[in-house]
Chains A and B, each alone.
Chain A
Amino acid sequence: MASIIKTESLSKDYGNKRVLDSINLDIASGLPIGLVGPNGAGKTTFFSIVCGYIQASAGSIEVFGTRPNDPILRGKLAILPQDARLAKGVSVLQQLRTFAELQGFSYKSSRTEAQRVLELVNLADVGKQPPEFLSHGMYKRVAIAQAFIGEPELVILDEPTSGLDPNTAESIRALIHTQKTERTFIISSHNLNDIENLCQHILIMKQGKITHYEEVAQLINRTNILSIRLEQVAPGNIKEVLTTIDTINHIEISDSGDHRITIHFSEDDAAGIEISILQCLTQAGIQYREFSRGESLSQKVSDITKD
């Protein structure tokens, strides 16, 4: 697969503060990538360099084999910027038409294109309204709609579901799902369920550095680990209850307050282990809320990015 973003020792400083620290990356086109990390990790700064909003302090970056801001990237690269505001007092449809025109659509065809992307985010009926009259969720969807104008090959979404109600967030996830075979997505989100459900690869940033770049499945080790989220705090005897099952090697009890336990088992009896564990829990009167194969991504990322 072709490389879409390639960096070598990419760094960015704001005054004395190093926000990105010698990032070496080679992101290939194709599968959706999740970019995660705590606040201040450098995610938005990284996107800003990719899109040419800011310039790197050191190192190099290539986007589709050329430097950011190269005219060749116009129409190939689209972004949902995290905190950009649409122009006040101008209708949403008119603003999307302007974006479409700037991307090369004729004045006439820009209307069709603007309506198409508004329909894509289920907002066909709000085109005449200026953005300041829209709810937060609608505003966000309009901002997402502009990223789908034309046929971008790379779509960067910075926090696409933050601040959205569950139904709206679900509609955005569904949109990304339907589009992800046609273009490459890089999605930054604090909602790790989104990353787990939408992305094949994950990039983890911490303090301006890339700590992990691998497949989500590989990171959370789906093969011989089970995660169970209990209804209440794990009782003191839970380890004794579960270690009666021979194939369990190790049990971790989370101390982060989410009542989660992680069970490592030998791969010899992968098929029957889930049933055995459920039986044990039922017999001990322990109720669970969630039962899943592999480690929890949020727990894993939390462990990686913890200070």
Chain B
Amino acid sequence: MQHSIRLRQLGIIARQDLASSLGSARALLFLVFFGLFWFWILWKLSDANLSSLSSFRGLNFIGLFMNPEHARHLFLDHPVYLSVYFLVALTTLPFFTMIAACDQTASDVSNRYIRFLLPRINRSELYMGRYIGTASLVILCYTIVTFAAAIVSGNLETVQNTGLFAYTIRIWLTLVFYSLAFTSLMAMVSAVSASVAVSLLLGIGGYFGFLFMLFIVRLQSKNVSEYISYLLPSGVKPWLTSPDESTIALALLAMLAYAIVFYLLGWWRFIKKDM
């Protein structure tokens, strides 16, 4: 089979991708930027008086930016520090993931490194191997930051360990699924791009352009803008903070669906592309 996947080859490519991430300027830039950003956020949050967010006035203020019911659930039912981390992570994840995942196959094609690989593996293996390598890096980063936030939260707030652990796992799972959707989106963008720079520009520029367009449409019709928003995974983001478990499960399934659809669209382009 021309597109059959061999697990060993997949592992080699993913391992190479992860290893080279630590040596490439682009990935190092992401790691440094990501690390500094979260160090600063977690540090500042630990010094801030977050308990005011669970007050009546605090919840009213947050209710301006998100569903008030979701806000009450996050800040009254769960540790406030971790909930703030959750909201900041959800908001910034698309941006960070797009930076980390912009070069999955783009530079292989632009510097023609792919010409060394293709006599040895097929395109599907390369595409999936790069995806796994990139997704692993993003997930690893969010795993570290999420558990760091949980440890700080445990020290700052008086919460039961089991509750804290369960909430941390929920946040981690949500961020993993949300990041997979954006990693797939960037796999698709990377497959149609001629270089990393174009991929990054198309991804981030396209994403913010889409949000701006959504804002304009929203001024005209809220319903239409809501339907359009589902074109990207961020349209389903409000579901992720729901107090209702079935809504959260549905949101995670939707993220998985986005991930699969974007992945397959990019794969289809990649296997047809002249290298």
A residues in contact (CB < 8 Å) with B? 48, 51-55, 67, 69-71, 73-75, 77-79, 81, 83-90, 94, 98-99, 101-103, 143, 146
Q: Cβ of A94: which chain B residues have Cβ within 8 Å of it?
A: 19
Q: Does B48 lie at the interface of the complex (its beta carbon under 8 Å from any beta carbon of A)? A: no
Q: Is B117 an interface residue (CB 8 A)?
A: yes
A83→B112 contact, CB < 8 A? yes
What sequence of 0s and 1s flags, for each residue 116-140 of chain B, a beta carbon within 8 Å of any chain A beta carbon? 1111111100000000000000000
**A53 in contact with B274 (CB, 8 Å):** yes
Measured CA separation A74–B16 after assembly (Å): 19
- Residue B275 at the A interface, CB < 8 A? yes
Any chain A CB within 8 A of the CB of B1?
Answer: yes
Partner of A102, one of B19, B111, B112, B117: B117
A84 touches B111 (CB 8 A): yes
Q: 27 A–B contact pairs at CB < 8 A?
A: A48-B274, A48-B275, A51-B115, A51-B119, A53-B115, A53-B274, A67-B2, A70-B2, A71-B2, A71-B4, A75-B120, A77-B119, A79-B119, A81-B116, A84-B114, A86-B113, A86-B116, A87-B20, A87-B113, A89-B24, A90-B23, A98-B12, A101-B12, A102-B12, A102-B13, A102-B117, A146-B116
- In the complex, A227→B20 CA distance in Å? 54
Tier of interface size on chain B: 20 to 34
Contact A69 B111 (CB under 8 A): no
- Chain B nearest Cβ from A306, distance in angstroms: 30
Chain B neighbourhood of A78, CB < 8 A: 119
Residues of B within 8 Å of A89, CB to CB, are: 20, 23-24
Is B9 on the interface with A (CB-CB < 8 A)?
Answer: yes
A54-B120 contact in complex given A71-B2, A85-B112, A98-B16, C-beta closer than 8 Å: no
Taking CB as reference atom, which chain B residue is nearest A88?
A: B24
Q: Chain B, 1-42, contact with A by CB distance < 8 Å: what is the 0/1 string?
A: 110100001001100100110011000000000000000000
- Interface residues of B, Cβ cutoff 8 Å to A: 1-2, 4, 9, 12-13, 16, 19-20, 23-24, 111-123, 272, 274-275
Q: Which residues of B contact A86 (CB under 8 A)?
A: 113, 116
- The distance in angstroms between the C-alpha atoms of A109 and B121, with both chains bound, is 19
Closest chain A CB from B94 CB (angstroms)? 27
Chain B residue contacts of A48, Cβ below 8 A: 274-275
Closest residue to B123 on the A side, CB-wise? A69
CB distance from B23 to the nearest CB of A (A): 4
Q: Is there an interface contact between A84 and B115, defined as CB atoms closer than 8 Å? A: yes
Q: A54-B274, A69-B2, A71-B1 are in contact. Are A90 and B119 (CB under 8 A)?
A: no
B274, A55: Cβ atoms closer than 8 Å: yes
Q: Are A84 and B16 in contact (CB under 8 A)?
A: no
Chain B residue with the shortest CB-CB distance to A74:
B120
User: How far is A71 from B3 in the complex, measured between Cα atoms in Å?
Assistant: 9
Question: A residues within 8 A CB of B1?
Answer: 71
- Cβ of A54 and Cβ of B2 under 8 Å apart? no
* Chain A residues closer than 8 Å to B16, beta-carbon distance: 90, 98
What is the CB-to-nearest-CB distance from B263 to chain A, in angstroms, rounded to a whole number? 21
- A67, A75, A98: which has the most chain B beta carbons within 10 Å? A98
Residue of B4, B19, B115 most packed against chain A (CB within 10 A):
B115
Given A53-B275, A71-B2, A90-B19 contact (CB < 8 Å): yes
Residue of A nearest to B4 (CB): A71
